[in-house]
Amino acid sequence: MEMVKHPNMNDKSVKFKEEKGLSPWTMALQRLRKNLLAMIGLVVIIMLIIMAILAPVITPHDRDATNTKNKFLSPCSEHLLGTDELGRDTFTRLIYGTRISLSVGLVSTSIAVLIGVTLGAIGGFNGGFIDNIIMRLVDIFMCFPFFVMAITIAALVGPSIWNIMLISGFLSWPRIARIVRAEVLSLKEREFIEAAKALGLNSKDIIIKHILPNILAPVIVYTTLGIAIGILSEAGLSFLGLGVKQPKPSWGNMLAAAQSLRSLRLHWWLWIPPGIMVFITILSINFLGDGLRDALDPKLKQ
């Protein structure tokens, strides 16, 4: 009797042959390229970064140049997105605001990842008393709502871009610390870690050379999604007047400047563009983060 082959059997065997011999990172990159939403998000993020870097080239107007005679101008050929209450070009401030918002997201996430990965790896690898102290500290931080703590601390230390970076970073590290601790707990009992201990390597070398390279995937995914959280934090605190101070533009304080009923009704160009920028940026980062999570998941290997 002739055996009937499954219609997808040949396709699966071809894919297996194509991926056989490739490194995990190469296979993850191939899977990421096939994710349309992730690639769209990546392209949008790259465009935003280029726009932030080339801000002085893109727009001919000065960021803080005021002209009260031209205040509240509607969009025109000279001012693509009109002007604000001081006659400043809205398009120029929107582009420069990209620098501020992306910088806050990157720096705050870097602080959170540095603290979280360090404490999570130390606690998970050593266990015992050290692990209990770190986890109780994580529990204390996670007992309080993020924005309540951020608003309270920002009100005490004052509004500043550097304060927002530090506040967002120091309040966000417990999430990544718990993720890293769980990964380390599963890795430290593996055979290659036992072999490293048998060779006489100390805890520091084992964590840096053997454990951290094997937990890069969840760290990369969290870092991507954490940037979105940092941008939202900056926008929210700046909207409340506790973030980036004028005249430095950010998407949050641009929205705060347009919160009057008159602006909401008559001057749409003051609040719709920064709102759209926040929406597009967060959505693109989430698309990329989801794509990275799927691409780096070893369970998805054929």
Residue-level pLDDT, tens digit, the chain, 302 residues:
444 445 554 554 545 445 555 676 788 788 888 889 989 999 999 999 999 899 888 888 888 888 888 888 888 888 888 888 888 989 999 999 998 889 998 999 999 999 999 999 888 888 888 889 999 999 888 888 888 888 889 888 888 888 889 999 999 899 899 989 988 888 888 888 888 888 887 878 888 888 888 888 888 888 888 888 888 888 888 888 888 888 888 888 888 888 877 888 888 888 899 999 999 999 999 899 888 888 876 555 44
Q: What is the pLDDT of residue 2?
A: 45
What is the rounded CA–CA span in Å between residue 170 and residue 123? 18
267: tokens are 């001057």
Q: What is the pLDDT of residue 124?
A: 87
Q: What are the boundaries of each domain within the chain?
A: 32-55+81-300
Q: What is the pLDDT of residue 3?
A: 47
What is the rounded CA–CA span in Å between residue 132 and residue 190? 22
pTM (2 d.p.): 0.81
Q: What is the pLDDT of residue 20?
A: 56
Quickly count: other Cβ atoms within 10 Å of residue 248's Cβ: 18
Q: What is the pLDDT of residue 49?
A: 92
Q: What is the pLDDT of residue 114?
A: 93
Q: What is the pLDDT of residue 266?
A: 85
At position 144, the amino acid (one-letter code) is: F
If we measure between CA atoms, which residue out of 65, 90, 63, 95 comes closest to residue 79? Answer: 90
142: tokens are 């996670």
DSSP per-residue letters across 75-124: P-SSSTT-B-TTS-BHHHHHHHHHHHHHHHHHHHHHHHHHHHHHHHHHHH
Q: What is the pLDDT of residue 302?
A: 45
Cis peptide before 159 (omega within 30 of 0): no
Q: Which CATH number fits domain 32-55+81-300: 2.60.40.10, 2.40.160.40, 1.10.3720.10, 3.30.470.20?
A: 1.10.3720.10
